[in-house]
Amino acid sequence: MNEKNILKKYTPILKPYAVEPNFVEEFGKVAKIYSNKGTFALKRIDPHNGADFTRHIRTLYQKGYNRIVPIYPAVDGRYAILYDNKLYYLMPWLPNEERETYFKKHQQMFRELARLHILTSKEVKIDKEDRQEHFENTQLDIEKEQEFLDGFIEQCENKEYLSPFELMFCMYYHDIRQALIYSETKLKEWYEETKEDEKARVSIIHGKLSPEHFLYDDRGYGYFTNFENAKYGSASHDLLPFLSRSLKTAPKQNEECIEWLYTYFNHNPLKYDEMLLFLSYLAHPGPAIRICEKYMKADKKDINERKYAQKLLKQYWLLKNTEYVVMRVDEIERQKKAQQEAAEQAETQD
């Protein structure tokens, strides 16, 4: 599309903002607008998310959370403009010049995430029956996964010759099974702790936490952007997907992830029951089990052993990287609990 047609495309969209584009650069769903009033970012989103998006943005402003890239209202006060069955919203174009290291940027992002969750935190009513149903359904899923693992290992052990994938599975079976047992144990502890509770803590969650969605202005302050997937939910809904992506590396003891997590926990500590559920979900070896299930269902005539073996290896690496983080968090929390109990006992004796 030539420059004239691009300007023609964006002029009616920007008209409600009283902005006249002089030049436009397109970057996927974002357009960089050079105009008579400065440089802006115009983002295109699914109109079905529009109502929730604008409501959450208003809530964040009302709660006093200002570390989001400002959403400019149109002249008539609308935060988003519907045009040609697409929804658009306007923001300043931030230079996003990183003045901090990779580690420090993540640390600042987690600190701001904690503030976002604290300021929007509220308690919601949860029926005991709903809590019990969630527990029973999750436990049933875990039991089915355990049955699958036991069946697959038995099938492999009864074979005289194993495929490369089956041989790798036999080597990894114990670690996968231990992760599943740990996940179930924490789930049961969570249910015992909360089965009589009728409330749960929720906050506005970003929905797509990533350093790519944490931008810097020219003063070096960081701001969240891309709130299209925002909703009310548990803090874990922001933390867990980020950790899953960050731990998809070759095997290593990822102390950076531990420090980022505790940057968050130091500002917004999880309650005891929240930590139990967080560890249960984090430890669950779902990705490794899914690739094994996919292999079992595949037509063995057309199967690509090398690709399946590579996928299983990567999921095993993720499992071991996650295991290290889970064990470190579990250890830290046990130490904190022991110190707290010792301090309480000392006070009682005094």
pLDDT at 50: 78
The answer, yes or no, to whether residue 2 has pLDDT greater than 80, is: no
Q: Which residues, in sequence order, are bridge partners of residue 222?
A: 216
Q: Within 13 Å of residue 229, how many CA atoms lie on the same side as its CB?
A: 10
Q: H/E element holding 88? A: strand 86-92
Residue 350 pLDDT greater than 80, yes or no: no
pLDDT tier at 214 (50, 70, 90 boundaries)?
A: very high
Q: In the prediction, which pLDDT does 98 show?
A: 64
Residue type, 303: I
Q: Where does the pLDDT of residue 1 fall: very low under 50, low under 70, confident under 90, or very high at 90 and above? A: low
Classify burial at 163, counting beta carbons within 10 Å of its beta carbon; exposed 0-12, middle 13-18, buried 19 or more.
Answer: middle
- pLDDT value of position 99: 58
Average pLDDT of the segment spanning 221-228: 91
pLDDT of residue 15: 94
- pLDDT at position 94 is 87
CA dist 148 and 188 (Å) reads: 21
Q: Give the pLDDT of residue 48.
A: 84
Q: How buried is residue 187: exposed, middle or buried, by Cβ count under 10 Å (0-12/13-18/19+)?
A: buried
Query: What superfamily would CATH give domain 102-342?
Result: Aminoglycoside phosphotransferase (APH), C-terminal lobe (3.90.1200.10)
Contact 54/80 with Cβ under 8 angstroms?
yes
The pLDDT tens digits of the residues spanning 51-82 come to 788 899 889 999 999 999 999 999 999 889 99
Q: How many helices (H) and strands (E) does the chain have?
A: 10, 10
More confident residue, 168 or 49: 168
Alpha-carbon distance 99 to 21, whole Å?
30
Determine contact, residues 87/46, Cβ cutoff 8 Å.
Answer: yes
Amino acid at the residue 299:
D
Digit-coded pLDDT (tens) for 129-186: 999 999 999 999 999 999 999 999 999 999 999 999 999 999 999 999 999 999 999 9
* Cβ within 8 Å of residue 197, ≥6 positions away: 126, 131, 273
Identify whether the C-beta of residue 54 lies closer than 8 Å to the C-beta of residue 183: no
Fold of 12-92: Phosphorylase Kinase; domain 1 (3.30.200)
pLDDT tens digits for range 322-337: 999 999 999 999 999 8
Please tell me the distance from the alpha carbon of residue 243 to that of residue 106, in angstroms, as a whole number.
Answer: 12
332 φ/ψ angles, rounded to the nearest 5 degrees: -60, -45
Rounded to 10 deg, the angle between the 236-246 and 272-283 helix axes is 30
Residue scoring higher pLDDT (247 or 219): 247
User: Are the beta carbons of 246 and 209 closer than 8 angstroms?
Assistant: no
DSSP-derived letter for residue 96 is -
More confident residue, 1 or 221: 221
Which residue ranges make up each domain of the chain?
12-92, 102-342
Residue 299 burial by Cβ neighbours in a 10 Å radius (0-12, 13-18, 19+): exposed
Q: What is the mean pLDDT of residues 235-263?
A: 95
Integer Cα distance of 4 and 141 in angstroms: 56
